[in-house]
Amino acid sequence: MKITIAIDGYSSCGKSTLAKTLASRLGYAYVDSGAMYRAVTLYCMRNGLIKNGKFDTAKVIAVLDDIHLTFVYNPATKASDTYLNGENVEKPIRQMDVSEQVSKIAVVKEVRDKMFRIQRKLGKDKGVVMDGRDIGTHIFPHAELKIFMTADTNVRTQRRLDELSAKGYTVSFDEVKKNLEERDYEDSHRKESPLRKADDAVVLDNTELDKEEQLEFVLRLAKQLSA
């Protein structure tokens, strides 16, 4: 029996890495819900709607119907690439400038409502692993398996820094750490579907776990629940 797996948690906890490998091992679809918020943010930035970190909520709401998100499977990464109005935006949405603005766009109720509809649709047939901040609490409150991921902030910062350096970006440890802390704060304190552990979620603190150990832990739970 196919189940729904919701993976939520703080920024740069390795949610996407775990979710992607888990989905691939189970033959499930993987959906990166954060990529959708990032794509909306990128659209707003490119269209001059965010200036010096400030934006007009009414203007953002007004352009929502012009934003079309699609997802195309990329065999090289074994995951779907996010397309914004027909353009593959996988690269630009991961950059620091987008990371710095995305939590502010993610508080807008109308943006969240739009994401809710897309995400619900993508998971309607089960057999999906979706990661984000509100998947187990809001998008799929009846998911059979919910994981809440966390890890020490310095460990998360270093992992994110390594990831960005590997892609050729030059950023400092402090800059990345500040961004993580700010996003965690904003994501956990917003009014609309804030990041919080669902009551029935299993906590996975991966400060001292490698990727294999995390995968094994979640795979065991998933197999028990889908048996």
- The residue ranges that bind ligand DC (CB under 6 A) are 11, 33-34, 37-38, 102-103, 106, 132-135, 183, 187
d(CA 42, CA 67): 10
d(CA 179, CA 184): 8
In the complex with ligand DC, which residue's Cβ is closer, 142 or 227?
142
For 39, the enclosing helix (H) or strand (E) is helix 33-46
| Least distance between ligand DC and beta carbon 221 (Å) | 21
- From 38, 93, 225, 90, select the one nearest 147 (Cα to Cα): 225
Q: What are phi and psi of 60, to 5 degrees?
A: -65, -45
| Least distance between ligand DC and beta carbon 186 (Å) | 7
In the complex with ligand DC, which residue's Cβ is closer, 114 or 183?
183
| Least distance between ligand DC and beta carbon 7 (Å) | 10
In the complex with ligand DC, which residue's Cβ is closer, 35 or 218?
35
In the complex with ligand DC, which residue's Cβ is closer, 78 or 220?
78
| Least distance between ligand DC and beta carbon 129 (Å) | 13
* Six token digits for residue 75: 């065999």
In the complex with ligand DC, which residue's Cβ is closer, 45 or 135?
135
| Contact residues for 224 (Cβ-Cβ < 8 A; gap 6+) | none
| Least distance between ligand DC and beta carbon 227 (Å) | 28
Contact 130, 139 (CB under 8 A): yes
| Contact residues for 87 (Cβ-Cβ < 8 A; gap 6+) | none
